[in-house]
A and B are shown apart, each in its own frame.
Chain A
Amino acid sequence: MDLIIEGIVKAFLLFFSLDSEVIGITLFSLKVSGIATLISLFIGISLGTAVALIRFPGKKIVVSLINTGMGLPPVVVGLFVTIFLWRNGPFGFLEILYTPSAMIIAQAIIATPIVMGITLASVQQLPGKLRLQIIALGATRLQMVWTLIKEAKLPLLAAVMAGFGGVISEVGASIMVGGNIKGYTRVLTTATVMETSKGNFDIAIALSIILLVMAFLVNLILTFVQQRKRPS
């Protein structure tokens, strides 16, 4: 018990002393997960909306695959991204394994099915006649799709939260494709794993608390945006 209390105290001291390494890791984590989330939003919202609106044979199978992808294990993603980016792999010529780019790719792959699945559900839950109403107002197909996405914007914020939450907290893929290189590819989760394995629980607890606070703050902001226009 003393170990935990001591760890928490040291964690707060480390946190409030603005340790440059901790701040660097925190900002780098935000950058990698932020870019990965943006990429996943672009791909996930586009494909999720397309799957929601287009009728095609085997749609149920595709939706099932997307829903399965929402729980994609990060280590599996890490494994395949590593294989693909390995020196002899199909994309080995890019030479980006153990770089932030590889981490962004892996995290984007993890977040995309999450965003896609929530987008799909959000667009499908809109009233069926809304689509007809938009067409009846003279919208082109592109205008109709854009209007539907705007109408689903509040549930879509949940996609942003889930996507970001999924990648900021994952460790398997980041450690596999990033390598946890100090000052280069080390993020909060990989640093926490390393410090724990070294027995530095105070630093590990500090990093965990920063991770939790950061995830909370991002979700708090998004929740405020999501809830501000709800009628009383």
Chain B
Amino acid sequence: MNNFTSILEGRNLKIQIGNTVILDVPEIRIQAGEFLSVIGHNGAGKTTLLKMLCCLMKKPKEGEILFKDRTIGSECSLMEYRRKVTMVFQEPLLFDTTVYNNVASGLKFHGIEHSDINAIVMENLERFGISHLKGRSAWTLSSGEARKTSLARALALKPEILFLDEPFASLDPLAKDILYSDLERVLPKSGLTVVFATHDYGDVLRLSHRVAVMENGKIIQIEDPDTVLKHPANSFVSSFYRLNRT
């Protein structure tokens, strides 16, 4: 996967507050249809990288982001880009309404015809096996149900790139396993590009085409999972792997 046309490219992405480097990524290229996992300890810069790539942060003082070879902000408008990608955060961040309305919310933002919304919402609720919850208030959901609703809401938008920022953190192992299985079942059919940030390496390995290892705001290795496993770039990568595999 080294010689590809990238769907998304970040160049010279840098955030520095005082003397502290929050993010320093000279280059990152993501292929269409790729599942890229971004791993690293808490505070490594994973969320910042995702927010930067999703254009949810103020434009970086340095660097640029290209979507399908078009620079966001000049050749491609910010709104156009934001309507082709979406992000699921660590917390489900559901709205104070029913599960159905939550999944429909993004579609309404996009101005999808009311007559089309029902079919899209139901398709995505069924995808995650939560259609029976459609009338339930988001406040009454379990953690696992809320995460599924959040994923259904994101996928209902048919994004070209899906950013997942530790969406299964703080779930019990069983709920986490169910959600990974759901993703494993749903994502290959959708063909969308996924950037998945996690510090829980083991579970995400089976879905990943490539793994980017981050430390102190920098990507210190980005390769396929086997290569990273067999030839870690440094002791941090090998120790990170070891810690997550034990």
Q: Does B139 contact A (CB under 8 A)?
A: yes
Complex: how many Å from CA A196 to CA B124? 67
Q: Does B56 contact A (CB under 8 A)?
A: yes
A136 pairs with B109, CB closer than 8 A: no
Complex: how many Å from CA A180 to CA B170? 62
Q: Does A151 contact B (CB under 8 A)?
A: yes
What's the dominant secondary structure at chain B's contact region?
Answer: mixed
Bin the interface of chain A by size: 20 to 34
- Closest Cβ of chain B to A6, distance in Å, is 51
A151 pairs with B137, CB closer than 8 A: no
Complex: how many Å from CA A153 to CA B82? 27
Interface hub of B79, B83, B109, B137 (most chain A Cβ within 10 A): B109
B109 pairs with A138, CB closer than 8 A: yes
B91 pairs with A138, CB closer than 8 A: no
Q: Which positions 192-241 of chain B face chain A at CB distance < 8 Å? A: none
CB-CB < 8 A to A143: which residues of B?
109
A127-B93, A132-B51, A229-B96 given as contacts; is B139 within 8 A of A137 (CB)?
A: no
A137 pairs with B105, CB closer than 8 A: yes
- Closest Cβ of chain A to B114, distance in Å, is 16
Interface hub of B93, B105, B154, B157 (most chain A Cβ within 10 A): B93
A127 pairs with B91, CB closer than 8 A: yes
Q: Which of B82, B95, B137, B139 contacts A138 (CB 8 A)?
A: B82
CB-CB < 8 A to B82: which residues of A?
135-136, 138
- Closest Cβ of chain A to B100, distance in Å, is 15
Complex: how many Å from CA A153 to CA B95? 11
Complex: how many Å from CA A147 to CA B108? 11
Closest CB pairs A-B (n = 10) = A137-B106, A136-B87, A138-B83, A133-B93, A139-B109, A231-B139, A138-B109, A132-B56, A138-B110, A143-B109
